[in-house]
Amino acid sequence: MAYDKFTLLRSTAVPLPTENVDTDQIIPARFLKATEREGFGDNLFRDWRYDVEGKPKKDFVLNDSTYSGKILVAGKNFGCGSSREHAVWAIYDYGFRCVVSSFFADIFKNNCLNIGVLPVTVSASFADRILSEVAKHPDTELEIDLAQQRITLLSTGEGETFDINAYKKGNMQHGFDDIDYLLNMASAIDTFAASR
């Protein structure tokens, strides 16, 4: 489905420095039973966020009102494990539009780009800088400028450029998805398919 355009995002951030966060943590399997895409945000990080009785766990960052915003700053190897796109739906549905990490798992990154959540890969040292700055000053804003492919810590002016391939960038900027592209070349695909 076509999604929201992404051009420039300026927002505070939520820090989650844990490494190797897998998609089973982002959205546990037992919440994958829906046949529609909406509503997964309520169960984002379910077992880290709530105890067995369903009460919020105080020490988990999403339950800490100090932190908020549309950017999730995550630890290394974020999104490893299952291919469930539900993980990204949950992140999106909760209100995040961008995830920053020094290292993303492949399928997760693809899934993000396919539904309009921007994955921004930064150097390990800059990831640490952002995490410590946000921890110290929760009102610190980050700016993500997709056109310039630049991420900036607005409080200090520190920043980095990030990679994204030109095609995916265009899609994000215009809110297009791959199916639009593929449907437009249906006859070329038919010819190819016939040769197999």
Partner 1 sequence: MEKKTLFDKIWDAHVVKSVPEGPDVFFIDKHFIHEVTSPVAFLNLEKRGIGVRYPHRTVATPDHNVPTVDQDQTIKDKLSRMQVEKLRENCAKYGIELHDLGSAHHGIVHVIGPELGVTQPGMTIVCGDSHTSTHGAFGAIAFGIGTSEVEMVLATQCIMQSKPKKMRISVEGKLGEGVTSKDIILYIISKISAAGATGYFVEYAGSAIQSLSMEARMTICNMSIEMGARGGLIAPDETTFAYLKGKTYAPSGEQWTTAVAHWRTLKTDEGATFDEELQFDARDIEPMITYGTNPGMGIKVNASIPTAEGMEGSNKSSYLKSLEYMGFSPGEAILGKAVDYVFVGSCTNGRIEDIRSVAQMVKGKKKASNITAWIVPGSREVEKQAHEEGLVAILEEAGFELRQPGCSACLAMNDDKIPAGKYAVSTSNRNFEGRQGPGARTMLASPLTVAAVAITGRITDPREIFGN
Which member of 9, 72, 73, 84 binds partner 1 (CB under 8 A)?
84
Which member of 10, 63, 68, 107 binds partner 1 (CB under 8 A)?
107
Q: What is the token pair recorded at 143?
A: 């700016």
- Report if residue 4 touches partner 1, rule: CB under 8 A: no
Q: Which stretch binds partner 1 (CB under 8 A): 58-66, 92-100, 137-145, 183-191?
A: 183-191
- Report if residue 136 touches partner 1, rule: CB under 8 A: no
- Report if residue 57 touches partner 1, rule: CB under 8 A: no
Q: Measured between alpha carbons, how far is 82 from 86 in angstroms, rounded to an integer?
A: 10
- Report if residue 196 touches partner 1, rule: CB under 8 A: yes
Q: How far is the CB of 145 from partner 1 (least distance, A)?
A: 19
Which member of 4, 42, 128, 139 binds partner 1 (CB under 8 A)?
128
- Report if residue 93 touches partner 1, rule: CB under 8 A: no
* Contact pattern from residue 14 through residue 53 relative to partner 1, giving x for each residue in contact according to CB under 8 A and a dash for the rest: ---xxxx-x-xx--xxx-xxxxxx---------x----x-
**Cα–Cα separations (whole angstroms), residue 77 to 27, 81, 129, 139, 141:** 16, 10, 17, 26, 24
Q: What is the 3-state secondary structure (H, E, C) of the chain?
A: CCCCCCCEEEEEEEEECCCCCEHHHHCCHHHCCCCCCCCHHHHCCHHHHECCCCCECCCCHHHCCCCCCCEEEECCCECECCCCCHHHHHHHHHCCCEEEECCECHHHHHHHHHHCCEEEECCHHHHHHHHHHHHHCCCCEEEEECCCCEEEECCCCCEEECCCCHHHHHHHHHCCCHHHHHHHCHHHHHHHHHCC
Q: Whose Cβ is closer to partner 1: residue 125's or residue 154's?
A: 125
Q: Whose Cβ is closer to partner 1: residue 12's or residue 101's?
A: 101
Residues that bind partner 1 (CB under 8 A): 1, 17-20, 22, 24-25, 28-30, 32-37, 47, 52, 75-77, 80-86, 88, 103, 105-107, 110-111, 114-115, 128, 165-168, 177-179, 181-183, 185-186, 188-189, 192-193, 196
